[in-house]
Structure 1
Amino acid sequence: MTTDQHPVPTTPTTPTAPPPPTARAVLAAKVLLAAFGLALLTDLGSLVAEAETGHRIAKPLLMPLIAAFVVVRGGPRLLVAALLFGWGGDVFLLSGADWAFLVGMGSFAVGHLCYLALFAAVRGAAAPPRWTAPVYGTALVVLVVLLWPGLPAELRVPVAGYAALLTVMARQSTALGLLAGLGGALFLVSDLIIATGIAGWPQLPEPDFWIMLIYSAGQLLLAIGVLGVLGTSGRNAATGAPGR
């Protein structure tokens, strides 16, 4: 229904760039990044010292701190959602139960779907570099074939499906530039270490330390990479900025 004075537009408006951050927002973002760094150091130190309590306290703080940083920076809701689904996966994986592992993997998978929707909205008509298709595709096939015999029978199909989704996310992240592409690759590597552990492959010393370091760096680089693209392309309206 329309009026003569104010007809309803039939085409979407052009996305506009976010307003410059205020001094308070800049300070808050720096504080949140510092808090994230402190929580990560606490978590990594707890893993090395085998202090389970410290790990259980620090690990669940990591993704919410990055998500809060994104909100302060005026980032998109889909990015916040992806990080919070990652937080859900982190929390469930603190349990050693098989059901918790599957639920945690499902939470991460939803986060990857949020990332894919976000990348599509941010990059517009752009596409990942052509070389990424054969590289990521070959890596997925080789790794699934090699891991398959060592995985528990009930986990083979879920892990293979999750690996395919994660690989697609990592490849698509390369369309947003170096930082986001590196973040997607690190996310893939961290989960690969987990999968090799489940399959009974030899592990690096302190594998949980490396998993958390690489995973946390990957998520942070994905967030910073997306925010950097939005700050220069002015497409945050396409993905929706968080509201209060």
Structure 2
Amino acid sequence: MHDDVHATPGHLNPGPGFDPEPVPDPGGALPPSLFAPLRRRVDSWLPTRAARRWALVLVLLGVVHLSAHLVVPDGVGVARVTQWLLMPLLAATLWCATPQPRPRPRLVQLAVVALLCSWAGDTVPAFVPDIASFPVLMALFLVAQLVYVAAFLPYRAHSVLVRRRGVVVGYAVMYAVIVGTSAVALLPQGGAGVLLVVGIAGYGAVLMTMALLATGVDRLAGLGGVLFLVSDALLGLAQALPDTIDALPPGVHGFLVMLTYLAAQTLLAAGVRRRVRGHG
């Protein structure tokens, strides 16, 4: 008999053309080290598993909410219901991202209260008559801004109010433009218009104060304050210039308002978190 009849499988002749060197699989999994820097970055901002989970749900729901404005602009149900959940999710993320020290710092506690007041502003107006919806929204967000002011006030020495007073002029110009535009559009309506302009002026002053004080907490919080001004200015335009807003493609105005609002609140929360961690 031939010798290869008695050979074990390990000694079988593989035949001509056999390459004994292993060939790397080009379709293999990506190396874990590729995502290590991103993982460290996420863990530094969201150090607990609970914070990462809340943040993931927030991101996914935020995408659904913003998409609903553009994809189904007439189907306000999806956008409305998802909006009711966004601020509680952000508050939970901030709370779980700052587990130390215990009890949590005053800044974190008040920021969470402000987020919950904002949640009330997002939710309650949907359950009141349309004529009262905007005043109720403005009143609830006024409370939220006052809480933010109380939270940020201890850091005023680091804000542009003290360190870069020239920048305050830019904020003042923005405030004047918002109030002036509202006055021109609403005062001709008589008593109701006058009350609305007074409300916008008062709320705008508190909002401007919050935005200025936020610069003392952290640069991210300062940017969040500016975006809050932009978001509320867009919202106010719907009251002052409804025909202009109605001329926009369906859903665009709501998308822009909520995009800037979500970014503003997220940056404020991120600035608070970074200040507490000592990186502000």
TM-score range, shorter chain: 0.7 to 0.9
Name 2:152's counterpart in structure 1: 119
Name 1:98's counterpart in structure 2: 131
Residue identity opposite 1:62 in structure 2: L
Is this contact kept in 1: 2:113–2:147, CA < 8 A?
Answer: yes
Name 1:157's counterpart in structure 2: 198
Name 1:47's counterpart in structure 2: 69
Structure 1: 5+ residue runs without aligned partners?
1-20, 235-244
Is this contact kept in 1: 2:156–2:213, CA < 8 A?
Answer: no
Q: Which has the larger radius of gyration?
A: 2
**Other structure's SS at 1:232 match:** coil
User: CA offset at residue 149 of structure 1?
Assistant: 1.9
Name 1:80's counterpart in structure 2: 112
Q: Confirm or deny that 1:30 pairs with 2:52.
A: yes
* 2:233 pairs with one of 173, 176, 192: 192
Identity across the alignment (%): 34
Name 1:13's counterpart in structure 2: none
Equivalences, count: 212
Name 1:237's counterpart in structure 2: none
Q: Confirm or deny that 1:57 pairs with 2:98.
A: no
User: CA offset at residue 107 of structure 1?
Assistant: 1.0
- Measure the CA separation in 1 of the matches of 2:276 and 2:208: 23
Residue identity opposite 2:111 in structure 1: L
User: CA offset at residue 56 of structure 1?
Assistant: 2.1
The TM-score normalised by the length of structure 1 is 0.80
Residues 83 and 162 of structure 1: is their aligned pair in 2 closer, same or farther, counting only changes over 3 Å?
same
**Other structure's SS at 1:131 match:** helix
**Other structure's SS at 1:94 match:** helix
Q: Which moved more, 1:92-101 or 1:169-178?
A: 92-101
User: CA offset at residue 164 of structure 1?
Assistant: 1.2
Residue identity opposite 2:184 in structure 1: P
- Measure the CA separation in 2 of the matches of 1:111 and 1:125: 22
Structure 2: 5+ residue runs without aligned partners?
1-42, 99-103, 187-192
User: CA offset at residue 124 of structure 1?
Assistant: 6.2
- Measure the CA separation in 1 of the matches of 2:156 and 2:255: 37
Is this contact kept in 2: 1:36–1:62, CA < 8 A?
Answer: yes
Q: Confirm or deny that 1:143 pairs with 2:178.
A: yes
Residue identity opposite 2:273 in structure 1: L
User: CA offset at residue 25 of structure 1?
Assistant: 5.5
Residues 125 and 164 of structure 1: is their aligned pair in 2 closer, same or farther, counting only changes over 3 Å?
closer
- Measure the CA separation in 1 of the matches of 2:177 and 2:47: 45
Residues 93 and 190 of structure 1: is their aligned pair in 2 closer, same or farther, counting only changes over 3 Å?
farther
- Measure the CA separation in 1 of the matches of 2:212 and 2:166: 10
